Structures are given as C-alpha cells and as structure tokens.
Homo-oligomer: A and B are copies of this chain.
Amino acid sequence: MKVAIIGVTGYSGIELVRILLRHPNVEISSIHSHAQKEKGITDRLPHLSRLLDLPLEPVDPKRIMEQADLVFLATPSGISKEIAQVFIKADFPVIDLSGDFRLKAKGQYEKWYKNSSAPFEYLQKAHYGLADFYTKPSSKLIANPGCYATGTLLSLAPLVQQDMIEMDSIIVDAKSGLSGAGKKLSSSTHFVSNNENMMLYKMNSHQHIPEIMQQLQTWNKTISAIQFSTSLIPVTRGIFITTYAKSKERLTQSRLWEIYQAFYQEKPFVRVQAQAVYPELRQIIGSNFCDIGVAYNEITKIITVVTVLDNLVKGAAGQAVQNLNHFAGWPEETGLDLVPIYP
C-alpha cells in the first residue's frame, strides 16, 4: 500500500515516517508540508538523511490521490479540517491525527477548540479510531484519538464498562512531556520555561475532555463529568496518567488486578503490570505499548490506575498505523513490533 503524509515536519509526522519506513506492507509515496517551503526533508530533519529520499512537497490532493492509496494528516487541529475535505468528498481514505473529526455532537468542537468545526456530516461519518477497542473501522475517514484521551480511556475502560465505580468520583491527573505541545513556539515551550519545572497548564479545560466523555458515555450512560487536569513535565516524550475513582463495592488489591489482567490479556499493546507494580514512563518510549498498573486502597475504597504511553506513538503515529492495519485488514501488530528505546 502506498501512503502519503501531510504535515510530515511536525512531531507526529516525523514519527509516522519512523514507523512506516519499517512497515512491511507500506511504502511512503510522498511527503508534504502544509506551510513551509523547503528544499528537502533532510534540511529540516537531518536524522532522515540516507533513510528517506523524497522531496518535501506542497499539498496537492489530486496528485496524492493518483499516487497513493491513503493519506495521513499529521497536521494541527484547525488545518486538518480544511485539507481533509477534498479527500473525503472523493471517498479517499484519510487517517487524521488532529482533533478535527473526533467530536460528534453539535457545538462541541466550537466550544473546546474555539474554532468552527468541519461540516457536521463529516463529523458523523468519521470513525473514532480507539484502536485497541475498534478493530473494524466503520468509515474511510478515521479520526485518530488524542494522546491524553487514549491513556485516560485505557485507564478507565474496565471500570466504566463494568460499572465498578461511583461515576462522579473520577479524577484524572495527567502529565505530559513537551513533544505533546507540538512544535509551535510559545513562551511555554521554551527550554528555560520547562527545564527544572513542572506546571499545570489546563485545569478542567483540555480539549481532549469532550472526546473522553463521548467515549466513556458510549460505554456507560451514567457518567456525567470527570475532573481532568494536565501538567507539563520536563521530558520530551511520554504521558504519565494517574487516575483515581471510588469503587462501588469493596474490592481487594488482587481482585482489582485480576479484573484488569483479564480485561486486557488479549490486547497486544496493553500490558498490565505485575501486581503492585506501577509502570515507569521510560519503559514504553518509542513503542506502541500502553502499560498499566493498579492499586486499591482498602480503607478509602479509592482505585488508583497508573498509565504510561508514548504520546507520539500510542498517542499519535503508532495508533494511526494500528488503525491503518485495521483498515487494511492486516494483523494489528504489523510494523508495530517496536522495541522501546531503553534507557
């Protein structure tokens, strides 16, 4: 299969190249930047010298549709919805890594992204590609989930699907490395602003909240709100999420662990840790794994779920390739047998 990548100079685009260059069934046919005019990919991405010998092109949908079988949009939210339309109209397969096609309900995108949404019919048409749960995409337009959303949903899925917790007790304390903030320059992404620092940047206002709620409510209608805050930690890659919720019935540490273990044992990219072991961030960097540890406080009945993933892989490009595999009908691990880079 031939694929084109638009937005290849962003962090998710770069990571798509890293993964797809070693995917046995895929050839990258062309790479595109929506904004910059550049002479060649290796002027801006020197690590790809000798590995990818393609010119960096402007976006030309017609040529892309002639030469490729599918297009990845690794463009920012707000840009994808513009670029995607011609492909959608032509019923050409699109996997979009931005937030532009994730939210179904009217007004949600406007509220959280402070921008006009893609046409309502396209939002309805889009398949929300939470790849560990939906293995058969319902559409040629796949909206790849957000990084925080992926981690939060995988943390909560057993509890919410099996109605185990008091639904108004969910608290998500999420921390991310700086690549999650994208390449855009701002005083908050300056090295000096983040080194030797930790800051909470969105208190109950992150734009991944509505896609989390949308999916949680698909699983359990009784859920109405979550507490969700996001902080930056001084690392390049990785998301570390601590999720708390109160169990409805009294559990034990081992019973809770068995539930998670059973729930995820068939999912190749979710690794439930051994009992009373909590994953550390670095153990998944560079890979498509999402690692989960769980604890139960028998006095307060509070469940703690510790979840780590690489925001650029499981939280972006890796899950996008997992969705490609689903779309193409290949085994979902194809090209995703990435060994974490450790240390």
Q: Please tell me if the beta carbons of A47 and B242 are within 8 angstroms of each other in the complex.
A: no
Residues from 214 to 228 in A contacting B, C-beta threshold 8 Å = 224-227
How far, in angstroms, from A271 to B49 measured CA to CA in the complex? 8
Let me know if A337 is at the binding interface, CB within 8 A.
Answer: yes
Let me know if A110 is at the binding interface, CB within 8 A.
Answer: no
Total copies of the chain: 4
Q: Please tell me if the beta carbons of B185 and A186 are within 8 angstroms of each other in the complex.
A: yes
Q: Please tell me if the beta carbons of A21 and B179 are within 8 angstroms of each other in the complex.
A: no
How far, in angstroms, from A21 to B14 measured CA to CA in the complex? 23
Pick the residue among B21, B48, B198, B236 that contacts A343 (CB under 8 A). Answer: B236
Contacts A22-B339, A195-B178, A283-B47 hold; do A304 and B227 have CB atoms under 8 A apart?
Answer: yes
How far, in angstroms, from A303 to B237 measured CA to CA in the complex? 29
Let me know if A284 is at the binding interface, CB within 8 A.
Answer: yes
Pick the residue among B185, B276, B300 that contacts A190 (CB under 8 A). Answer: B185
Residues from 252 to 283 in A contacting B, C-beta threshold 8 Å = 268, 271, 273, 276-283
Q: Please tell me if the beta carbons of A47 and B340 are within 8 angstroms of each other in the complex.
A: yes
Most central of A280, A283, A306 by chain B CB within 10 Å: A280
Interface size on A, residues (CB 8 A): 88
A 227-244 binary contact with B (CB < 8 Å = 1; else 0): 101010111111010101
Q: Smallest Cβ distance from A296 to chain B, in angstroms?
A: 10
Residues from 298 to 343 in A contacting B, C-beta threshold 8 Å = 299-302, 304, 306, 308, 337, 339-343
Q: Smallest Cβ distance from A137 to chain B, in angstroms?
A: 25
Determine the residue in chain B with the shortest Cβ distance to A242: B173
Of A56-64, A88-96, A150-158, A199-207, the one with at least 4 CB within 8 A of chain B: A199-207
Q: Please tell me if the beta carbons of B192 and A190 are within 8 angstroms of each other in the complex.
A: no
Q: Smallest Cβ distance from A206 to chain B, in angstroms?
A: 13
Q: Please tell me if the beta carbons of A197 and B282 are within 8 angstroms of each other in the complex.
A: yes
Most central of A178, A304, A342 by chain B CB within 10 Å: A342
Q: Please tell me if the beta carbons of A238 and B198 are within 8 angstroms of each other in the complex.
A: yes
How far, in angstroms, from A340 to B196 measured CA to CA in the complex? 13
> Which residues from B are CB-within-8-Å of A183?
187, 190, 192
> Which residues from B are CB-within-8-Å of A308?
198
Let me know if A297 is at the binding interface, CB within 8 A.
Answer: yes
Pick the residue among B191, B204, B225, B340 that contacts A189 (CB under 8 A). Answer: B191
Let me know if A295 is at the binding interface, CB within 8 A.
Answer: yes
Q: Please tell me if the beta carbons of B273 and A46 are within 8 angstroms of each other in the complex.
A: yes
> Which residues from B are CB-within-8-Å of A190?
178, 183, 185, 189-191
Q: 10 extra interchain contacts, Cβ-Cβ under 8 A, other than A170-B300, A189-B190, A203-B278? A: A46-B280, A47-B282, A189-B192, A191-B191, A197-B235, A198-B238, A200-B280, A200-B293, A229-B242, A244-B244
- What are the 4 closest A-B residue pairs judged by CB atoms, nearest first? A199-B280, A47-B340, A225-B299, A47-B283
